[in-house]
Structure 1
Amino acid sequence: MTLDDYCARPGAWRGAGERPSCPIPLLSANDLDRRPRHDLAMFGGKLWRDREFLKLWGGQGISELGSQVSQLALPTVAILLLHATPFQVGVLAACEFLAFPALGLIAGVWVDRLRRRWIMIACDAGRMLALGSVPIAFAFNALTMPQLYVVGLITGVGTVFFDVSYQSYLPSLIARSDLVEGNTKLQVTGSVAQMAGPALAGLLIQLVGPARAVIADATSFLVSVLSLAWIRRPEPSPKPAEGAAPTSFWSEMREGVQFVFGNATIWKIAGSTSTANLGSNILFAVYLIFAYRVLRLSPGVIGVVFGAGAVGGLIGALSASWIARHIGLGPTLFVSILLGGLGSILIPIAQFGYAVPLLLAASVITSFANPVYNINQVSLRQAITPDRVQGRMNATVRTLIWGTIPVGALIGGVIGSTYGLLPAIYIGIVVETLAGFWILIGPVRLREQPQPA
């Protein structure tokens, strides 16, 4: 799991809680300009001395490393072992994200009603069991595409509730003034995992096969469960706003939707991210098939491409706050979301030669853009949202932005099966690049900062 909302793939896979009822000032968007220097945000800062944050950080770092294995191993199982078609690979990708449009808003209400840490523990345990079934079925020669679809659905449901809880839990674990530092540390860890994980995944797949390699991810979820259970800082009990009358489940859900669409900054960022995810998943639905069957690359080489590309993600995460401070928040969001689409142009060019260098370059560029965009937009959303609706805000936004992922995967699979792999790749690049339009028309397009909601 990462804190990413925008999946600038390939090379980058898919980063806010209840306070006591006493009045606590929100961190204004202007405070984002007083964010720590990019080097201090990662290598310095007081969160290094916060043992409870370190538990969360360490557990999620290991979990993210394991997830990089499944990212490559599950579609490789489908393509190389089960000989899946482009459409079947698209369906598999869609299953992982179908839960967000189906359950995202519901998850937001429950996350604001229940203890978020225990939701996260339950989700990690469920995903561990689902992924563990893959090598077991393979050992008995019973592994099928329908089982992979079910595994994708179960892990998707777990990811929905975990991610909404995760983003909503962070501001209750650390001070709001430390959000950029915390998000930077989490994003950098994700980038390091993206750098080392795919190479590890490629090596494991080469050594033990793609099905057995999934054991690594199942084990990483177990580590995450233990690290979350180890956190001792009390989580404030969920409470409605002072003086607020009891509300129904549906009215709480509606409040979250109304908050997002009533805040121009948030819904236009959601529109940009949704468009980018739609395009990137049209492309990624056929990317591995293109790499394996057209470019004739091995899983080990693909792992190296993904891992080396994540070096760009690490650089992007370290420089995200520095870039925003020097060129402004709006220009940073626009340039990074645009770069994520334009970098993918190198992928279809790889068919003419120099495939590995071109895929490496595409992966580095898109992986650099991803955390630059995510750190700034996630921190901004967290900062301008009242604590009592953090879960519902995150759920509503993620319903929108991750809801386009299964749609993109299915569109990519259909185009790839009907018209060929290259048309799907080109269409995905065009759609992803158009995501910058939302930033241009939005209130974050210039240097000015919106006021807190």
Structure 2
Amino acid sequence: MSTTYAPRKPAGPDSAPRGRWGLWGAANFRRLWLGETVSGLGTAIGNVSLSLVAAVTLDASPLLMGVLTAATWLPWLFIGLPAGAWVDRWRRRRVMLVCDLVLMVLFASVPVAAWTGCLTVAQVLVVALLTGVAKVFFSTAYGALLPSVVDSADILEANTKLRGGEAAVEVAGPGVAGLVTQLLGVVTGLFADALSYLVSALCLGRIDVHEEPPPPAARRALRQEILEGLRFLLGDPYLRTLACFSMLGNLALNGIQAVQTVFLLRDAGLSPGSVGTVFAVVSAGGLAGAGVAGWIARRFGSARGLLLCMLVIAPFMFLVPLGGRQLPIALSAVAWGVAVCGVIAGNVIAGSFFQTYCPTELLGRVRATSATIGYGAIPVGALLGGALGSTLGTRPTIWIMAAVLLGAAGVLLASPIRRLRDFPARKES
């Protein structure tokens, strides 16, 4: 028998009719959206600024830059599963608040160390690693908290709006990071990231949601609780399929990301400014994907909509390696954006299904298990893409990774999902 985790939403703005404003009329959701969007912008700024600090201020080697990138994702491989069990034991909003404050201190420590003359590569790597640890707990708690903030019927709309905010800051983030760096300097720019986490914490602190995690007496050994979440995911054909789909998708997309800049600069012959324009087009595709996910799910059904995204839209990725030769690079960039649109829309639909399908008391563990499988493929995909790019070239690497992405869609097609119009409702533990 599983432990009990019974969140109870108080009566208030989120329970009242919202009319044409939808979730924007719900105070708790507005606070969550604002906090996470501002935090996402800060993260986009921080990722650029931290890399610039390592490369410019500390003159880090390319190898160290690769280690720095991997450090933020490695914690998923080591603590992703226990983090899910811990989050199911604790109040999820409190976990997110603590993580926000930890992240604020971590990013603020870099400029402070630089001003005192004691900043080292080791500190930057430790900050990246601890940031990854905090993100594991924050992301797990965030996905598990959302069903306590909005009604089940609003989960898809909530994820669409939240992912839309994330996609928007991904488009704006690099440009804002460049402006902040130019105005404040490479190191000082990290204070903007630290401030964003403070804003997120203030917004989370004002969310009115009551949570009742299981009492200590009802808890079992951590290993048992981890295995419960693992068995639930692996034993369910839909969740198991989506975890494999996520793993292959992340492997493919990060394999492409590892070689995309070299491909555009050296093989396609673009200038650095044009490369930035291509990335902006691709990011705009992600923003569009978040915007159309809800419409696709309503028009075609959630399960069929996911298949549509991955079998019809995502294969546009095969046009990317043709850019600069068989196709004009502008057309290739648009195809790339269309493919990313399909991937992001599919992610929104799949993530919404997780939150409405999994039992609340298991949601943290199930999401953490899935994230460990999916996010664990990110550093593997980056390393594989880099290795293939060095031996075969960037164009063949993108062809291979596009095929892997199509393989992720094939996993969906070979599963029971292909027979569904909509994903099923909540499953009991």
Same fold (TM over 0.5): yes
Structure 2 counterparts to residues 288-327 of structure 1, below 5 A = 288-291=261-264, 295=269, 297-298=271-272, 302-327=275-300
User: What is residue 15 of structure 2 aligned with on the other side?
Assistant: none
> Shift in Å at residue 363 of structure 1?
4.9
Equivalent residue for 1:410, pick from 371, 377, 383: 383
- Percent identical among aligned pairs is 36
Contact 1:271 / 1:401 at 8 angstroms: preserved in 2? Answer: yes
Question: Are 1:167 and 2:149 an aligned pair?
Answer: no
SS at match of 2:40: helix
Please identify, of 321-330 and 114-123, the stretch whose mean Cα deviation from structure 2 is larger. 321-330
Q: 1:286 to 1:205 in 2, by over 3 A?
A: farther
Q: Which runs of 5+ in 2 are unaligned?
A: 10-17
Q: 1:357 to 1:198 in 2, by over 3 A?
A: farther
Aligned counterparts of 2:186 and 2:311: Cα–Cα separation in 1: 34
The residue aligned with 1:283 is 256
Is the 8 Å Cα contact of residues 91 and 409 (structure 1) preserved in structure 2? no
The answer to whether the 8 Å contact 1:339/1:365 transfers is: no
Task: Note if contact 2:8-2:211 (Cα within 8 Å) is conserved in structure 1.
Answer: no
1:441 and 2:417 aligned: no
- Inter-CA distance 325–396: structure 2 relative to 1 (3 Å threshold): same
1:166/1:310 CA distance change after superposition, 3 Å = same
* In structure 2, distance between residues paired with 1:206 and 1:331: 46
Counterpart residue identity of residue 426, structure 2: P
CA distance in 2, matches of 1:309, 1:77: 26
Aligned mates of 2:139, 2:297 — CA distance in 1:
25
**How big is the shift at 1:205?**
4.7
Aligned match of 2:176 in 171, 192, 200? Answer: 200
1:136-163 alpha-carbon deviations (Å, 9 max, x no partner) = 5566777665444333211111111000
Asked if structure 1 preserves the Cα contact closer than 8 Å seen for 2:60 and 2:121, the reply is no
* CA distance in structure 1 between the aligned counterparts of 2:180 and 2:149, rounded to whole angstroms: 35
1: CA distance, partners of 2:370 / 2:224: 17
Provide the alpha-carbon RMSD of the alignment: 3.4
Amino acid in the other structure paired with 1:309: V
Residue 8 of structure 1 corresponds to none
The 8 Å contact of residues 412 and 424 in structure 1, kept in 2 or not, is answered as: yes
Cα distance in structure 1, aligned partners of 2:39 and 2:8: 33
Check 1:340–1:251 CA distance in 2 against 1; reply closer, same or farther (3 A cut). Answer: farther
Equivalent residues of 2:282, 2:334 under 8 A apart: yes
Contact 1:89 1:413 in 2 (8 A): no
Structure 1's 164 and 129: CA in aligned 2 closer, same or farther, altered over 3 A?
same
Q: Which amino acid aligns with 2:191?
A: I
Query: In structure 2, the residue corresponding to 1:435 is in which secondary structure?
Result: helix
CA distance in 1, matches of 2:132, 2:414: 32
Q: Give, as a single letter, the amino acid of the residue that structure 1 aligns with 2:107.
A: L
Q: How far apart, CA to CA, are the structure 2 residues paired with 1:363 and 1:80?
A: 31
Deviations 1:268-313 (A, max 9, x none): 0110111010111122123345456665643x65554434433323
Aligned match for 2:213, one of 225, 238, 247: 238
Identify if the C-alpha distance between structure 1 residues 74 and 369 changes in structure 2 by more than 3 Å, giving closer, same or farther: farther
Q: Tell me how far 1:342 sits from its aligned partner.
A: 3.4
| 1:129 matched to 2:102 | no
Indicate the structure whose relative CO is greater, using CA pairs within 8 Å and at least 6 residues apart. 1
Confirm or deny: 8 A CA contact 1:202 1:301 kept in the other structure.
Answer: no
**Is 1:189 paired with 2:165?**
yes
Matched, 1:100 2:73: no
- 1:452 aligned to which of 410, 415, 426: 426
Structure 2 match to 1:383: 356
Residue 399 in structure 1 maps to residue 348 in structure 2:
no
Closer/same/farther in 2, CA of residues 20 and 368 from structure 1, 3 Å limit: closer
Provide the rounded CA distance (Å) in 2 between the counterparts of 1:355 and 1:237. 57
Task: Rate the CA distance shift 1:297–1:130 in 2: closer, same or farther, 3 A.
Answer: farther
1:14 corresponds in structure 2 to none
TM-score (norm 1): 0.80
1:269 aligned partner: 242
Contact conserved, 1:283 with 1:425, CA < 8 A, in 2? yes
Question: Residues 156, 50 of structure 1: CA spacing in aligned structure 2 closer, same or farther, 3 A cutoff?
Answer: same
- TM-score, length basis structure 2: 0.84
Distance (Å, rounded) in 2 between the aligned partners of 1:349 and 1:217 = 38
Cα 1:414–1:335 change in 2 (3 A) is same
Aligned residues, how many? 413
Q: What secondary structure is seen at the aligned counterpart in 2 of 1:19?
A: coil
Alignment pair present for 1:56 and 2:32: yes
Which stretch shifts more, 196-205 or 437-446? Answer: 196-205
- Residues 366-415 of structure 1 show CA distances to partners (whole Å, capped at 9, x for unaligned) of 44123311221111111111111111111111111111112112223334
Closer, same or farther in 2 for the Cα pair 1:21/1:140, shift >3 Å?
closer
Q: Distance in 1 between matches of 2:277 and 2:22?
A: 34
Rounded Cα–Cα distance in structure 1 between residues aligned with 2:140 and 2:109: 25
Unaligned 5+ residue runs, structure 1?
1-16, 23-40
Paired residue for 2:6, among 19, 25, 37?
Answer: 19
CA distance in 1, matches of 2:375, 2:238: 18
Name the structure 2 match of 1:258. 231
